[in-house]
Amino acid sequence: MDFGSIIRRSWEIVKREKVLWVFATVLVAFSGGGMGNINSVANSGSSIFKDKQTVPETGKKISQVLGTATTNPQQFFQTILGSVPPLFWVALGLGFIVAVLFGIVYFIYVRNWALGALWSQCREAGSGNPTSLKMGSREGRKHWKDLFLTSLLPWLLFAGIAGVLAIILVIPMIFLAGSPLIIILFLVMTIVLIALMIYLVYTMLWQTFAQLSVILENFSWQEALPFGRKLTHAFFIDALLMGFINQGIGCAVGCLASIILGILALIVFVLFVISHFLGGAFLVILSIPAIIFLFGWALLSGIMLAFSSCNWVLFYQELQKKEEYKSIKR
């Protein structure tokens, strides 16, 4: 396997195909997130002052409420909360659960949509075909569910195996505490942990091959999982080297970027301190390069992710030329 050729071709593709930057940046952005809405709070607050004529008429009642709140805050809040119907709390709890579930499903969808779109356009670029946002988006919508299941199921299997082994080893430890046999048990645990670490790497490569086969072979998750396992058995060392190369390049770029980030963060902090003496206008001006820097950081992360994804796709396309791969597919 000519890894040098793969890396060179991948970098040329990433420099040329800006579409990959878009999907990769979305994928980077969806490592987490949250949202909130304060409009309802602002509207409810402003409605208090809409009719100023009601203030004098209720002044006495307001003063009584404020007096109660200041003399006994706990009783005040208990009275307010107690006046809310129980069905309101039930509806609020159900609404919260639905919102959380919707957020999880949305996160899963967008993340796997972006992954499918990115890898599909890496595939097209690697085959010499044109790329586009529309085509990538369509491929992402088509394969997002299969990509999600091919990433979930191998890790569920790993978690199940690790949990069973933990139970099997912890129970004897309780009964053998203080016994000389505990030394043998520790040796067994060490061997099991090493085996689990190897299986962890195996699971990562299995997931990668399965997801790549979804995009490059148009497999469903039922077809991709057994096929990915066979590829992991056959090309474990090659895939491990590809993973090490990707991680090495990523760590090198990440370390360099972290040093630059640290220096810039120090400069921003110094300028922020100076802005305390120069006034708020300087702080507003300072926020502009900070925003530009954050945008550039996200873009750089997206480019590196696109580069890593292209490496894997081109690696897979090289495997497709091998007779061993063709025999597995048959």
Q: Which range has the worst mean pLDDT, 109-118, 149-158, 198-207, 286-295? A: 286-295
The Cα–Cα gap between 231 and 228 comes to 5
Tokens 């926020």 correspond to what residue? 287
pLDDT (0 to 100) of residue 61: 47
What's the mean pLDDT in 145-165?
92
Residue 206 pLDDT greater than 90, yes or no: yes
DSSP-derived letter for residue 322 is: S
Cα–Cα distance between 324 and 116 in angstroms, integer?
26
pLDDT at 58: 45
Write out the DSSP string of 45-83. HHHTTS-TTHHHHTHHHHHHHHHHHHH-HHHHHHHHHHT
- Per-residue pLDDT of 29-57, as tens digits, reads 886 433 333 333 333 333 333 444 444 44
* CA 272 – CA 295 distance, rounded (Å): 20
How far apart are the C-alpha atoms of 260 and 265, rounded to whole Å? 8
Reply yes or no on whether the pLDDT at 8 is more than 70: yes
- Give the rounded percent of residues in the chain with a pLDDT score beyond 90: 31
The model's pTM is 0.72
Helix (H, G, I), strand (E, B) or coil at 211: helix
Which pair of structure tokens corresponds to residue 179?
């016994």
Give yes or no for a contact between 206 and 244, defined as CB atoms under 8 angstroms apart.
Answer: no
CB 231 within 8 A of CB 319: yes
Q: How high is the pLDDT of residue 282?
A: 60
More confident of the two residues 171 and 269: 171
Q: How far apart are the first and last CA of the chain?
A: 22
Q: In terms of pLDDT, which residue wins out, 295 or 316?
A: 316
Please report the pLDDT score of residue 56 as a whole number.
47
At 300 the pLDDT is 81
pLDDT at 229: 93
Nearest residue to 172 via CA among 184, 163, 156: 184
pLDDT above 70 covers what percent of the chain?
A: 76
Q: Is the pLDDT of residue 60 over 60?
A: no
Contact 93, 124 (CB under 8 A): no
The continuous run of DSSP H or E covering 49 comes out as none
How far is residue 222 from each of residues 46, 123, 176, 327, measured CA to CA in Å? 56, 22, 44, 19
Query: Quick check: 268 pLDDT over 80?
Result: no
Distance set, CA 102 to CA 50, 95, 115 (Å)? 36, 10, 20
| pLDDT tens-digit series, residues 20-35 | 988 888 888 886 433 3
